[in-house]
């Protein structure tokens, strides 16, 4: 009975979340939660999310160490890169459910700028190949957006450059057995001229979401999230009106003093209306798994089911699904942590594929860790690549999908050394390598007389990541990171550099907190020159920009914040021909009730 009570308490009590990645912070995207110190991960906590709240999800990643961003301007479609691999090789989750990747897009990627980060209390970035955990797309990494109900009522008004205005109302209640919160949000910005054609690219949206947590009895925990968002984004020579629905349900049942039965279910739908047609992508997901605890070992067998549906002018209505069985294991001693995983998955589009992964860490001495990871992954062909049809136009031949495509296959390894001096001072260096074969490309087939998709290319990415966290004084913290990325792709005849990704990237953040009510933040972001296109014809120049923000808690109920982006008004681009914002000013006032 005593064991059951202790297990129940650890099961229902939330994990402490500190601003630094110390021994108490956990990563849940690993399926079996692991300490952040012993995983190759990035944790974005609620303080950092709120500090960047006027901007987009892509802007938060732009400021994060070891993550690269490309887009066509502020608020436009963004591509996220982890260790040189873009969004099509990254799986995006909400509360552990992979429902964000949009099956109606050519690469099956989400538009992360449709997401509203006021919904999230934590973002986990799991780096490296994670195919054994989640299957397709998890080649370069996994990004998990986490929601929790908040026990407060606040009204926040934000505004600034480009006639930007954002209003957010949050309200929540909590008792011993339940918690509930809702968010209402409106946003509008007239934007700026991204291309120099004199036309400003505006955007607007309306959002409502709720979070519910129930603990009907000590051994049962249920969490539900629901979000409905409608918006409009103007882009160069066009616009898109979109509607997004996201919902997840997570449950945990303590079945004995040694086991927990968990269920993760989710549904995501994105509808995009353009002048030339409507594109709708839907994803349904269900995972059931059991965690069984022994003295030093946790085992978690389970099953997954995922169905993806697309309806677009190029594909019509098409559906693909996957079924998987998996086993995740965690072995821990005082100095050693090992996490082997294996997954067998059946895809309706091509058959069965097996992935495996081994990750772990070893404590060499006090607060010195060696971390490693190796595994394989896959990127399944998308509905667009399998079934699309585009008629001949403007002198171009027709395009037909290829239902005989095979999955792209990857292998990845990484290893690193972490030295932690205390919770505010640490040094880490890591090496990573990822190889992808069988890459799917759009190409002209002379024997058929039309364009189609084929498994032709391969790529290799390797590099080094370093990060330093240093407490200069009790009130001053500096974090800096350097990432070297050497990415190449080949068509069998020629080899080119992977576009958009800088060979050298440095990000530095200085935080000064002179009092408990006042915080000042200054950051610098540097990208070296890089190619814009896959055949390396266009160069994006190097750039270095500075941002700053300040937050002042005027009273127990009033917080005033301000930020200046691109302080030096630097002209730079993340995609060729599309300018990033110049010097921009924003201010916010938040009132708690």
Name the domain count of the chain: 1
Q: Collapse the DSSP code of 58 into the 3-class scheme (helix H, G, I; strand E, B; otherwise coil) and give the result.
A: helix
128 and 411 Cβ atoms separated by less than 8 Å: no
pLDDT of residue 73: 78
Report residue 259 CA to chain centroid gap. Answer: 30
In a domain, residue 18? The reply is no
Digit-coded pLDDT (tens) for 245-258? 999 999 999 999 99
Contact partners, residue 140, CB within 8 Å, separation at least 6: 81, 82, 83, 84, 85, 86, 89, 90, 127, 128, 129, 434
Query: Sign of the CA dihedral 13, 17, 21, 24?
Result: negative
Length of the chain counted residue by residue: 593
What pTM value is reported for the model?
0.94
The Cα 201–Cα 393 span in angstroms is 28
pLDDT of residue 70: 93
In a domain, residue 209? The reply is yes
Torsion of CA 191, 195, 196, 198, to 10 degrees: -50
Element (H, E) at 384: helix 383-387
97 and 343 Cβ atoms separated by less than 8 Å: no
In a domain, residue 237? The reply is yes
pLDDT of residue 1: 38
Tell me the chain's radius of gyration from C-alpha atoms: 23
In a domain, residue 538? The reply is yes
Below-50 pLDDT ranges, the chain: 1-22
In a domain, residue 11? The reply is no
* Pairing verdict, β 543-553 and 539-540: unpaired
CATH of the domain at 502: 2.40.170.20
Digit-coded pLDDT (tens) for 284-325? 999 999 999 999 999 999 999 999 999 999 999 999 999 999
C-alpha dist (Å) from residue 356 to 91, 243, 371: 17, 37, 18
112 and 93 Cβ atoms separated by less than 8 Å: no
Number of Cβ atoms within 10 Å of the Cβ of 470: 14
Task: Tell the residue number behind the tokens 């249920």, with chain if given.
Answer: 222
In a domain, residue 565? The reply is yes
Number of Cβ atoms within 10 Å of the Cβ of 273: 15
pLDDT of residue 14: 35
C-alpha dist (Å) from residue 62 to 52, 259, 271, 429, 574: 11, 40, 26, 20, 11
Q: Domain range for residue 312?
A: 26-592
Task: Tell the residue number behind the tokens 């921009």, with chain if given.
Answer: 584
Which DSSP symbol is given to 25? -
In a domain, residue 277? The reply is yes
pLDDT of residue 11: 43
Report residue 26 CA to chain centroid gap. Answer: 17
In a domain, residue 435? The reply is yes
């Amino acid at each position: 009975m005593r064991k059951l009570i202790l297990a129940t308490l650890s099961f229902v009590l939330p994990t402490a979340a500190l601003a630094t990645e110390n021994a108490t912070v956990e990563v849940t995207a690993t399926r079996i939660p692991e300490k952040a110190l012993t995983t190759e991960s990035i944790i974005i906590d609620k303080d950092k999310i709120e500090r960047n709240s006027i901007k987009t999800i892509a802007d938060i990643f732009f400021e994060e160490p070891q993550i690269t961003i490309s887009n066509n301007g502020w608020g436009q479609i963004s591509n996220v890169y982890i260790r040189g691999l873009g969004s099509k090789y990254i799986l995006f989750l909400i509360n552990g459910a992979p429902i964000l990747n949009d099956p109606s897009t050519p690469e099956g990627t989400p538009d992360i700028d449709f997401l509203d980060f006021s919904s999230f209390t934590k973002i986990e970035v799991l780096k490296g190949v994670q195919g054994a955990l989640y299957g397709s797309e998890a080649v370069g990494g996994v990004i998990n957006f986490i929601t929790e109900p908040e026990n407060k009522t606040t009204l926040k008004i934000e505004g600034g450059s480009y006639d930007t205005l954002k209003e957010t109302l949050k309200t929540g209640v909590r008792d011993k057995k339940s918690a509930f919160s809702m968010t209402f949000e409106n946003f509008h910005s007239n934007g700026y001229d991204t291309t120099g054609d004199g036309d400003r690219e505006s955007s607007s949206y309306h959002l409502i979401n709720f979070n519910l947590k129930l603990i009907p009895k000590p051994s049962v925990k249920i969490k539900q999230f629901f979000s409905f968002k409608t918006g409009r984004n103007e882009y160069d020579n066009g616009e898109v009106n979109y509607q997004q629905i996201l919902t997840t349900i997570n449950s945990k049942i303590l079945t004995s003093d040694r086991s927990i039965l968990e269920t993760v279910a989710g549904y995501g739908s994105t509808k995009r209306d353009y002048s030339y047609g409507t594109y709708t992508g839907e994803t349904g997901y269900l995972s059931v798994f059991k965690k069984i605890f022994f003295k030093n070992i946790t085992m978690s067998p389970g099953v997954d089911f995922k169905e993806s549906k697309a309806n677009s002018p190029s594909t019509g209505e098409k559906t693909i699904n996957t079924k998987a069985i998996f086993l995740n294991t965690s072995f821990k001693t005082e100095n050693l942590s090992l996490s082997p995983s294996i997954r067998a998955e059946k895809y309706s589009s091509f058959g069965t594929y097996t992935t495996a992964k081994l990750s772990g860490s070893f404590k060499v001495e006090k607060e010195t860790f060696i971390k490693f990871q190796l595994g394989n992954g896959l990127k399944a062909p998308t509905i667009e690549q399998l079934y699309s049809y585009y008629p001949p136009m403007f002198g171009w031949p027709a395009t037909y999908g290829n239902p005989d495509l095979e999955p792209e296959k990857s292998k990845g390894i990484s290893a690193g050394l972490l030295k932690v001096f205390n919770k505010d001072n640490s040094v880490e260096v890591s090496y990573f390598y990822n190889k992808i074969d069988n890459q799917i490309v759009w190409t002209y087939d002379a024997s058929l007389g039309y364009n189609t998709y084929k498994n032709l290319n391969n790529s290799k990415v390797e590099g080094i990541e370093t990060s330093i966290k240093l407490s200069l004084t009790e009130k001053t913290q500096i974090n800096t990171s350097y990432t070297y990325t050497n990415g190449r792709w080949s068509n069998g005849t020629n080899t080119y550099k992977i576009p958009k990704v800088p060979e050298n990237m440095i990000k530095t953040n200085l935080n000064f907190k002179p009092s408990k009510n006042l915080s000042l933040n200054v950051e610098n972001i540097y990208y070296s020159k890089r190619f814009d296109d896959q055949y390396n014809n266009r160069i994006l120049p190097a750039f270095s920009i500075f941002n700053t923000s300040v937050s002042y808690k005027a009273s127990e109920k009033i917080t005033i914040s301000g930020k200046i982006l691109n302080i030096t008004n630097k002209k730079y681009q993340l995609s060729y021909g599309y300018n990033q914002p110049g010097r921009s000013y924003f201010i916010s006032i938040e009132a708690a009730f």
